[in-house]
Amino acid sequence: MKRKLLSILVMAATAHAGAQVTNAMIGADATTPNDVLSWGMGTQGQRYSPLSDINPKTISRLVPVWSMSFGGEKQRGQESQPLVHNGKMFVTASYSRIFALDAKTGAKLWKYEHRLPEGIMPCCDVVNRGAALYDNLVIFGTLDAQLVALDQTTGKVVWREKIDDYSAGYSYTAAPLIAEGLLITGLSGGEFGVVGRVEARDPKTGKMVWSRPVVEGHMGFLNGKENGITGTTNASWPGETWKTGGATPWLGGTYDAKTGLAYFGTGNPGPWNSHVRKGDNLYSASTVAIDVKTGKIVWSYQSTPNDAWDYDGVNEFITFDMDGKRMGAKADRNGFFYVNDATTGKLVNAFPFVKKVTWASSIDLKTGRPNFVAENRPGDPNAPGNDDAAKGKSVFSAPGFLGGKNQMPMAYSPTTGLFYVPTNEWGMDIWNEPITYKKGAAFLGAGFTIKPLFEDHIGSLRAIDPKTGKVAWEVKNEAPLWGGVMTTADLVFWGTPEGFLKAADAKTGKVVWQFQTGSGVVAPPITWKEGKDQYISVVSGWGGAVPLWGGEVAKKVNLLEQGGSVWTFKLTK
Ligand code: CA
Ligand code: CA
């Protein structure tokens, strides 16, 4: 009797400990396949699982277990990656909603709908990309630029903090990052002349620990005290231009405990018209590596200096081992794939990962700088000889501003040594116009039309060798790919706007399975194991930037239907 009681007590204590998400659990997330605690399935963002129950031999038995609708009249783009912990799934949805579900059955446990004010200004649909877990909390950001922490069990709000003023164009759509016991976030609003920054808070209370602007000239803070200006004022931004410099790290970041650095990609400099801000415009369109303990920039690498094409460099920087060294890889919106030393930032390799790149001919591996093609920069409306002061010379640029890759995260497999990159082939006509900053108004100074490059496809999932730049295999897709990728030892999973969740053999690219989810997939799949079963989940719901900004491409995809649901799969017997 006594022994039984003791064992019950031990079990209760263990269950309780399992309910609290600790820093150690988040640090180990990539190697614990029984849960998914972070965006990226591990803070390095590899989106790799060692699970192999579902493999090319068994996948014909992969069937849906449950589907749950987000409901409501408002649907739009669903770009969220679910989290799974303690038998519960936490998944965010459009219009700043979050749901807690029973991970095995899909039964709804609670939902929270954030009350959004009139006048929010998300540039690229009312999306959200996911939540973060810490202790007993689930934390996510909202379109009116707030962070909300809820109790995982009850869904009750524990704390709420304002990031910034939504009426100035600030918003939040990324999944927050937890690293070394800190809640680390960027922000959105780069099309409105806001100032990008990365911030670290106490995840239990929301209290600010440090903030680090990513535009030179702005002051950082640590524990309420000044912590040094970012860069050197006016070194790469003329006059007052740095005050409305954009560079928003809107996709969120990754973290590697080996380097102690959080990696955030930064967006376009403001405005799009590059002629009014001559200079490199640091640290826009860059990877910025921040010491999470001090809130200082340790290194930065700028992929598009003096960007003129809206080539936000926000894409995820995924760390991995190559030749015995810790590296990081990024497939940039500008069409080039970069490999940098994760500790020093030194450029190790760079090559195009799409077929047509017009703005630069190559990347100089010695200097790390692009070799610009000067005549392919949109012309200055005030250039001598330009007879129309309202419009500079129009040029055709590839990739188009929606990028060789956009928000959809790639995956890396340590088994195959390949990156699985969701790519798009498109270009744009782009021209510059005069522009002055006005709070809360679009700050572009540019006009544009996105155009496809090929008749049969825009999207292509490519397996890329980071050492050689060679494409091991590709699977083309008619519509632009906008969901992310997940890989296991044997398989690669990704979704399409046409509604399919697909799986291919990780080594050969042979498509071995697909399932129609009922709406377009623009979100990354996950996998985990509970009990004897390996599960796959993905969110379905067409939307995002393409239907809003896609020009001629948007017309091509206007047949696709909206939705909003989570699908979960496992093997039948
Ligand atoms: Ca895990
Ligand atoms: Ca942008």
Query: Measured in angstroms, how far is the CA atom of residue 73 from the centroid of ligand 1?
Result: 34
Q: Domains for the chain: give ranges and CATH numbers.
A: 2-115+126-571 (2.140.10.10)
Query: Measured in angstroms, how far is the CA atom of residue 248 from the centroid of ligand 2?
Result: 8
Q: What is the pLDDT of residues 87-118, one digit of tens each?
A: 999 999 999 999 999 999 999 999 999 999 99
Percentage of the chain beyond pLDDT 90 is: 92
Q: What is the pLDDT of residues 475-492, one digit of tens each?
A: 999 999 999 999 998 999
* Distance from C-alpha of 467 to C-alpha of 314, rounded to nearest angstrom: 22
E-strand stretches of 249-404: 253-256, 261-265, 286-291, 296-302, 318-322, 325-331, 336-341, 347-352, 360-363, 370-372, 395-397
Residue 6: pLDDT band with limits 50, 70, 90: low
Residue 19: pLDDT band with limits 50, 70, 90: confident
pLDDT over 50 at 16, yes or no = no
- Which listed ligand is nearest to 43 at the C-alpha? 1
Report residue 25: phi and psi, to 5°. Answer: -65, -40
Query: Measured in angstroms, how far is the CA atom of residue 122 from the centroid of ligand 2?
Result: 11
Q: What separation in angstroms does the CA of 105 have from each of 78, 80, 295, 409, 524?
A: 21, 19, 42, 27, 20
Query: Measured in angstroms, how far is the CA atom of residue 310 from the centroid of ligand 2?
Result: 5
Q: Is 179 in contact with 248 (CB distance < 8 Å)?
A: no
E-strand stretches of 403-510: 411-413, 418-424, 426-432, 446-452, 459-464, 471-477, 485-488, 491-495, 500-505
Nearest C-alpha neighbor of 491 from the set 478, 516, 508, 477: 508
Choose, from 125, 135, 280, 310, the residue flagged as catalytic. Answer: 310
CA 444 to chain centre: 22
Query: Measured in angstroms, how far is the CA atom of residue 97 from the centroid of ligand 2?
Result: 24
Q: What separation in angstroms does the CA of 454 have from each of 237, 459, 480, 498?
A: 38, 10, 12, 18
- Which listed ligand is nearest to 307 at the C-alpha? 2
Tell me, what's the pLDDT at 170? 98
557 compared with 357, residue with greater pLDDT: 357
* Distance from C-alpha of 179 to C-alpha of 186, rounded to nearest angstrom: 14
Residue 339: pLDDT band with limits 50, 70, 90: very high
pLDDT over 90 at 558, yes or no = no
* Distance from C-alpha of 11 to C-alpha of 50, rounded to nearest angstrom: 28
Tell me, what's the pLDDT at 273? 98
Average of per-residue pLDDT across 492-503: 98
Is 256 a residue of the active site? no
Longest distance between any two alpha carbons in the chain, whole Å: 95
Tell me, what's the pLDDT at 345? 98
Please state the pTM of the whole predicted model: 0.96
Residue 387: pLDDT band with limits 50, 70, 90: confident
The DSSP secondary-structure symbol of 489 reads: S
- DSSP-assigned states of every residue in 78-93: --PPPEEETTEEEEEE
pLDDT over 90 at 10, yes or no = no
pLDDT over 60 at 530, yes or no = yes
Residues in the 5 Å CB sphere of ion ligand 2: 190, 267-268, 310, 312
Sign of CA dihedral 434, 436, 440, 444: positive
Tell me, what's the pLDDT at 1? 44
Q: What is the pLDDT of residues 267-320, one digit of tens each?
A: 999 999 999 999 999 999 999 999 999 999 999 999 999 999 999 999 999 999
Q: What is the pLDDT of residues 194-222, one digit of tens each?
A: 999 999 999 999 999 999 999 999 999 99
